[in-house]
Structures are given as C-alpha cells and as structure tokens.
Amino acid sequence: MRHVMSPLDFSVEEVDRILDLAADIKANPEKYAHACEGKKLATLFYEPSTRTRLSFEAAMLNLGGRVLGFSSADSSSASKGESVADTIRIISCYADICAMRHPKEGAPLVASMHSSIPVINAGDGGHQHPTQTLTDLMTIRSEKGRLDNFTIGLCGDLKFGRTVHSLIKALIRYPNIKFVLISPDELRLPDYIRDDVLVRNHQQFEEVVRLEDALPQLDLLYMTRVQKERFFNEEDYVRMKDFYILDKAKLALAKPDMQILHPLPRVNEIEPEVDDDPRAIYFKQAQYGVYVRMALILTLLEVEVC
Ligand code: NCD
C-alpha cells in the first residue's frame, strides 16, 4: 500500500506513467467509467477547498466509485477534540482510499502512519500539495509538449504557497529548467527550498521583485495568490495582497507563446481581462486536475483497465 505525501514519492518514470494514464483517460473516458465500481473515496478536508475536493470527488464518480467525507473541521469530530490518528483509523473501516487536507504541516503524514488505506496529501499547511503538482505537470506537458528546457516564473506568495514548493521539487528532476522567483522580499521562497533544493541541486534560478522585469524571458508564468490564512496579522496581508496584478498591459511584455498557469483560487493577481487571452490556461489546468486524480486513484488502488 502506498501513500502520497510529496511529489517525490513517485519516480520520474512513475510520474510519466500517471500522466500517460491521465491522457488516456482524457481521450477515452468511457473505458474507465466502471473501473472503481464498489470502491469508496473519503475526502477529509479540515481546510477550505473547491477544486481539490470536488475534483477528487468527480474523479472517483467518473470511475464509477462512490464518495463520502467532510468539508470542514467544524463538521467533523475534530471539533470535539478527536485526533487525526483516531479519525483515520475509523475512516479506514469505511473507505478504500482517502484524500486529506489539513492546515497543519505533516497532518496527512501522521494519518498515513495509522491508516490501513492509501492516504493522499491534498495540501498540508504551507508545506506540500502533490496532486496540484501532478495537475501542473500534466498541464505543462499537454500544452507545451514537454517537461524540460524552459524558463518558468513563479510569482506571488512563494513563502506560504505550497503549490510552488511542490512544483519546484518536482521540476528539478527534468533537464534544463530555469526558475525565476518573483516575489516581494517578505514573501520570498523559504531557505529550506531555495538552499536545500535549488542551490544544492545546482539549479539555475534568479530572484526578482518586479514582474515586469521577469516577463520577457518566461516560457511559463505560474501565478499564485497571497495566502491570507497563513499570515499572522491582517495588516501584513493587506500590504502584500495587491503586490502583483497581471493585466493586458503587462502581458504585452511577455512572449507570444508564454503560458499562464494558476492553481486557483484567483483573488486580484490576474485581471479578468486576461482570461480571454489564449495564453491563459488556468481554467484548462483545473480540468486536467480531474484526469490526473482519476489516474492517481487507479494507480494507488492498483486497478488495471485493459
Ligand atoms: C491551492 C492550495 O490549496 O494550495 N489551491 C488548490 O488546491 N488549487 C492554491 C491556493 O489556495 O492558493
């Protein structure tokens, strides 16, 4: 039995296989419509979510399985003081696989230690978000045709943004990727990623504050929102929240084929006027998330579809 805590839990070859499977699911959805009949997915969400929880549920439903779960800590026994370890022991009796999101870093890892079903980390605090990374990799591979040889700008809240942390860890395994880290000083990438992941692995990267300075060289731009819920005080959030706003005027500085990703939700960092630009692929990205989660569920449940 396997759990998924970090994008590095899969080798590059395994990631390729999951992305190939996701592409086949996209092309032939009817082939997979009954693959998980009789199986149940539990979604244990102690933190708000729209896309991740619902795309997991849609994924299991598309596979002919069923879903159960809760969408906030308040509606679970966590509000009565139950531990994650006890909750997962119980959920293991009710479901075949589970996706857990938690505000505390490491909570899904604790759950996995007490679980008799596969646990998928669906986002733990400011730490990791491996299934968003698989979604991002599928989006890049499908839209760009490759996962190597590009310059990617990561813009916004690089300090608390778990999607960025996971994506960097996954991308350093592919050749010739340059990272441009675009953030205000206060929201720079934490040392444990910059030094321990980028520097230690001799990756090409630079840090810039102005989005305009970075835009002309980028093949991909990964925008993120400022993570309001992880700030210690409201004042700092208010000061940071509109630091980056991508609009049509700024987009004019970008390459004609630069693609714009965003894990969503978007707050103010991308003007709606950008949505119609063919380079804006963030809504498509959310759709890829369903195929990738279908592929992941099949892989972890070891269901083969011929
Ligand atoms: C992201 C998350 O939860 O980390 N959302 C998502 O899962 N698509 C990004 C965010 O909340 O900003």
The CB of 163 under 6 Å from ligand 1? The reply is: yes
Q: Quick one: average pLDDT of 50-74?
A: 96
Dist CA 89 CA 104 (whole Å): 19
H-only helix segments in 145-264: 162-171, 191-193, 211-214, 234-240, 248-251
Q: What is the pLDDT of residue 19?
A: 98
pLDDT over 90 (residue 183): yes
Nearest Cα neighbor of 225 from 180, 276, 261 is 261
First vs last Cα of the chain: how many Å apart?
22
Q: What is the pLDDT of residue 76?
A: 87
Going from the Cα of 306 to the center of ligand 1, the distance in angstroms, rounded, reads 34
Residue with tokens 């590009």, as numbered in its chain: 150
pLDDT tens-digit readout, 242-263: 999 999 999 999 999 999 999 9
Q: Select which of 39, 40, 53, 101 is catalytic.
A: 101
Instruction: Indicate if 266 belongs to the active site.
Output: no
Going from the Cα of 265 to the center of ligand 1, the distance in angstroms, rounded, reads 6
pLDDT tens-digit readout, 72-124: 998 888 888 999 999 999 999 999 999 999 999 999 999 999 999 999 999 99
Atom of ligand 1 nearest to the CA of 101: 3
Q: What are phi and psi of 177, to 5 degrees?
A: -110, 130
Q: What is the pLDDT of residue 306?
A: 86
pLDDT over 90 (residue 138): yes
Q: What are phi and psi of 137, to 5 degrees?
A: -65, -40
Written as six digits, the tokens of 277 are 């630009």
Q: What are phi and psi of 211, to 5 degrees?
A: -60, -40
Q: What is the pLDDT of residue 294?
A: 98
Q: What does the CA dihedral 200, 201, 207, 213 come to, rounded to 10 degrees?
A: 160
Q: What is the pLDDT of residue 37?
A: 98
Residue 181 · residue 214 · CB < 8 Å = no
Query: Which amino acid is residue 35, in one-letter code?
Result: A
Q: What is the pLDDT of residue 75?
A: 84
Dist CA 13 CA 15 (whole Å): 5
